[in-house]
Amino acid sequence: MLETLLPILIFAALGVAVVGAWRRVRLWRQGRPSAVPLLKGLAALPRRYLVDLHHVVGRDKVISNTHVATAGGFVAAAVLMILVHGLDLGASEGWGGVLGWLLLAASACMFMGSLFVARRRRHPPARLSKGPWMRLPKSLMAFSLGVFLVTLPTVGILPAGFGSWVLALALAAVVGWGLAEMVVGMTWGGPMKHAFAGALHLAFHRRAERFGEGNRSTGLKALDLENEAASLGVETPADFTWNQLLGFDACVQCGRCEAVCPAFAAGQPLNPKKLIQDMVVGLAGGSDAGYAGSPYPGKPVGEHHGSPHGPIVGRGGKALVDAETLWSCTTCRACVEECPMMIEHVDAIVDMRRFLTLERGETPNKAPEVLDNLIATDNPGGFAPGARMHWAADLNLPLMADLQQVDVLLWLGDGAFDMRNQRTLRALVKVLRAAKVDFAVLGNEERDSGDVARRLGDEATFQSLARRNIATLAKYHFQHILTCDPHSFHVLGNEYGELGGDYRVYHHSTYIAELHDAGRLTFAPWKGGSVTYHDPCYLGRYNGEYEAPRRVLEALGITLNEMQRSGFRSRCCGGGGGAPITDIPGERRIPDMRMNDVKESGAGLVAVGCPQCTAMLEGVVDASAEVRDIAELVADALVAAPSEETAARHRPRAVEVA
């Protein structure tokens, strides 16, 4: 009886799954074209899955092992099941018996995994979605147990015709349930959809360059402004590229992104997981009522709906997503860093912002003023461009225009207009002079890098600033660019390339570390209190520089009290992505939360490496810690480098301690 039922069930499930796959592919193909090498992508899939994806999943060992057991067991069991029960090879001589035993092992392994899945689902953390996901452990068990049992007769543990037909029917029903969830659900929607969409997403990822050891791809992709008739940015779900849509569909609703999102934690109306799920709702059409995870703070689920060709942000009314959700994001990339499915939330958010800014002119709050300033004065504050060097009137900074050729071009950034950042800049100049670095500045020829304009969705202003900066830089000869602003660092280093400007850019922490390694800087020992270090998003997650600032601090003689969230898990200060400008209200402020992290570390001083972080963290009232830039700490600790002969006569000396 089972021998007849099982092949029918298996092939019926496979057939229905194929139809589902075809329908799902059609949904993705509503998106705009995107050129990716299909075969190369498929060939790279195993490596991307086994290495890159598991690198992220492996941050949580229990889940990682659970997933290996369950998914590995399932894939093996599914293939073997088709061979053994579908094609009836289990009964054949020779290999048949071996296949049966392997199938038993695979389904047992999967069953073990499913027990762990079940345990996790008993008291699921808030970040996990409930709803259909709650039945997943049962379905996994049904599949693995069912397959295990029906295979027992095959290997001869039980007699072939054991039990009654009632038992056989019951077993077939259990296997059928398993097949429905695991095979049909994979393409028709259901928790297992992540496996199908996820595999293809990995193969056809829009940022193939991010895979591989130590690789990253964080620069936003340029918007084509050549075609004058085209609508700019993403208005409807179908305006995303097809592989972005595919990526959204791959989300497993694990909520890791939600757990690290600073905007969500601050009670602003953004939850990256819900945003991705809303895009899935949009691409298939319907309402978000079926979503079973945490909502956007302050926005009940079930009031939004969308369709592939309908607007994402309604004009005046509700559609799929409210504009303030998109404007809450600080582009800190914490979500992207944590996402096991390699989904690119920030790309999607900026794509949608581009439409709101470039097509609707609906950038909220102070943002239109900032953009107008950038257009008219090349800096966000609307200061006279000729006043850019006023802070350095007494420093006699060498100008590129005079020297034409230097080793290091010091990029000042718009912090040159900010009194607080001017202190950092002065400190940096002092350090460079102490190390006898051959450097010069662009002076009034420098313009805003375009970072804020781009992240506010104003790609036109970004490209205009970028092209003019590139033309200015092309006039001069220098080895590399040095800046104390991670945003300029990122934009110059990672985003100008697409527009024809390729530079070797250093963040000042990296540069100071190298100067120190080369013995060009000598520091007095640290006499202050305990210190912690805040990783700026645009230095850390965007550029992978976690080490150099710590090396500099170590060289200063500082032992760091690391915050719980540091390194790649660092929590944003709230200053990126134009968030302080769009200023979407929440229940708390992001910088307050970060200063609280500092307080919990017990440090009395927080070292930073970004003008934006400095401004945000210093803006916290009643803060328990002082905020200093690394350049300031270094400048304070400078002592004249021992010259050759004094070094030879070096002997211990008394040190002043108070």
Partner 1 sequence: MQPEHQGVAVTVLVSVGRHPLTGRARRADQDARGLELALGLEERLPGSRINLLHAGPRCEESESALRGYLGMGAGTGLEHLTLLEQPEGADAIPALAEHLASATPQLVITGARAERGEGSGLLPYALAEHLGWPLVNGLAAVEKVEHGVATLLQALPRGQRRRLQVRLPAIVSVDGAAPAPRQSAFGPARRAQLEVTPLAAERDHELAEWAMAPARKRPKRLKIIKSASARDRFKAAAAKAEGGSGQVLEGVSSEQGADAILKLLREEGVLPR
Footprint on this chain of partner 1 (rule: CB under 8 A): 228-229, 231-232, 315, 357-363, 368, 371-372, 375-377, 382-385, 458, 460
Could you give the CA distance from residue 91 to residue 96 in angstroms, rounded to a whole number? 6
Which lies closer to ligand SF4 via its Cβ, residue 330 or residue 488?
A: 330
Minimal distance, residue 346 CB to partner 1, in Å: 21
Q: How far is CA 300 from the centre of its chain?
A: 26
Which lies closer to ligand SF4 via its Cβ, residue 223 or residue 279?
A: 279
Should residue 343 be labelled a site residue for ligand SF4 when binding is judged by CB under 6 A? yes
H, E, C per residue of 343-366: CCHHHHHHHHHHHHHHHHCCCCCC
Stretch that binds ligand SF4, among 199-207, 259-267, 442-450, 560-568 (CB under 6 A): 259-267
Minimal distance, residue 234 CB to ligand SF4, in Å: 16
Which lies closer to ligand SF4 via its Cβ, residue 74 or residue 327?
A: 327
Which lies closer to partner 1 via its Cβ, residue 357 or residue 424?
A: 357
Rg over CA atoms, the chain: 29
Letters for 140-169 (x = contact with ligand SF4 by CB under 6 A, - = none) are ------------------------------
Stretch that binds ligand SF4, among 166-174, 177-185, 267-275, 305-313 (CB under 6 A): 267-275
Nearest to 617 by CA among 551, 557, 570: 570
Which lies closer to ligand SF4 via its Cβ, residue 244 or residue 469?
A: 244
Which lies closer to partner 1 via its Cβ, residue 60 or residue 362?
A: 362
Could you give the CA distance from residue 492 to residue 263 in angstroms, rounded to a whole number? 27
Q: Strand order of the sheet with strand 505-507?
A: 439-441, 405-411, 477-483, 505-507
DSSP strand E in 235-353: where? Answer: 286-287, 305-306
Phi/psi for 54 (5° steps) reads -75, -15
Should residue 263 be labelled a site residue for ligand SF4 when binding is judged by CB under 6 A? yes
Minimal distance, residue 652 CB to ligand SF4, in Å: 50
Should residue 464 be labelled a site residue for ligand SF4 when binding is judged by CB under 6 A? no
Give which of partner 1, ligand SF4, none residue 438 binds (C-beta under 5 to 8 Å, depending on kind): none
Among 142, 195, 251, 427, binds ligand SF4 (CB under 6 A): 251
Residue type for 603, please? A
Q: For the residues of 445-464, what is the DSSP string, one character each?
A: G----SHHHHHTT-HHHHHH
How many other CB atoms are found less than 10 A from the CB of residue 36?
Answer: 16
Could you give the CA distance from residue 317 to residue 367 in angstroms, rounded to a whole number? 22
**624: which 2 tokens?**
């328990």
Should residue 254 be labelled a site residue for ligand SF4 when binding is judged by CB under 6 A? yes
Among 70, 253, 494, 601, binds ligand SF4 (CB under 6 A): 253
Residue type for 436, please? K
| β-strand pairing of 626-629 with 605-608 | parallel
Which lies closer to partner 1 via its Cβ, residue 181 or residue 324?
A: 324
Minimal distance, residue 92 CB to ligand SF4, in Å: 42
Should residue 255 be labelled a site residue for ligand SF4 when binding is judged by CB under 6 A? yes
In three-state secondary structure terms, 408 is strand
Give which of partner 1, ligand SF4, none residue 371 binds (C-beta under 5 to 8 Å, depending on kind): partner 1
Measured N-to-C along each axis, helices 611-618 and 419-434 cross at an angle, to the nearest 10 degrees, of: 130
Which lies closer to ligand SF4 via its Cβ, residue 338 or residue 414?
A: 338
Residue type for 611, please? P
Should residue 353 be labelled a site residue for ligand SF4 when binding is judged by CB under 6 A? no
Stretch that binds ligand SF4, among 147-155, 249-257, 441-449, 618-626 (CB under 6 A): 249-257
Which lies closer to ligand SF4 via its Cβ, residue 263 or residue 555?
A: 263
Should residue 276 be labelled a site residue for ligand SF4 when binding is judged by CB under 6 A? yes
In three-state secondary structure terms, 382 is coil
Q: Residues with Cβ < 8 Å from 114, sequence gap 6 or more?
A: 70, 137, 140, 141, 144
Minimal distance, residue 415 CB to partner 1, in Å: 19
Letters for 548-577 (x = contact with ligand SF4 by CB under 6 A, - = none) are ------------------------x-----
For residues 604 and 624, the answer to whether their CB atoms sit within 8 Å is: yes
Give which of partner 1, ligand SF4, none residue 84 binds (C-beta under 5 to 8 Å, depending on kind): none
Should residue 279 be labelled a site residue for ligand SF4 when binding is judged by CB under 6 A? no
C-alpha to C-alpha distances, 260 to 2, 335, 407, 576, 584, nearest whole angstrom: 49, 6, 40, 15, 18
Give which of partner 1, ligand SF4, none residue 229 binds (C-beta under 5 to 8 Å, depending on kind): partner 1
Q: For the residues of 537-553, what is the DSSP string, one character each?
A: TTTTTTT---HHHHHHH
Should residue 330 be labelled a site residue for ligand SF4 when binding is judged by CB under 6 A? yes
Give which of ligand SF4, partner 1, none residue 625 binds (C-beta under 5 to 8 Å, depending on kind): none
Give which of ligand SF4, partner 1, none residue 614 binds (C-beta under 5 to 8 Å, depending on kind): none
Q: Judging by beta carbons within 10 Å of its beta carbon (0-12, 13-18, 19+), is residue 651 exposed, middle or buried?
A: exposed
C-alpha to C-alpha distances, 611 to 321, 424, 482, 499, 616, nearest whole angstrom: 32, 8, 14, 26, 9
Stretch that binds ligand SF4, among 309-317, 336-344, 610-618, 625-633 (CB under 6 A): 336-344
Q: For the residues of 396-437, what is the DSSP string, one character each?
A: -PPBHHHHSEEEEEEE--GGGG-HHHHHHHHHHHHHHHHTT-
Partners of 482 in the β-ladder:
410, 506
Minimal distance, residue 94 CB to ligand SF4, in Å: 43
Interface contacts to ligand SF4, rule CB under 6 A? 251-257, 260-263, 270, 272-273, 276, 329-335, 338-341, 343, 345-346, 572
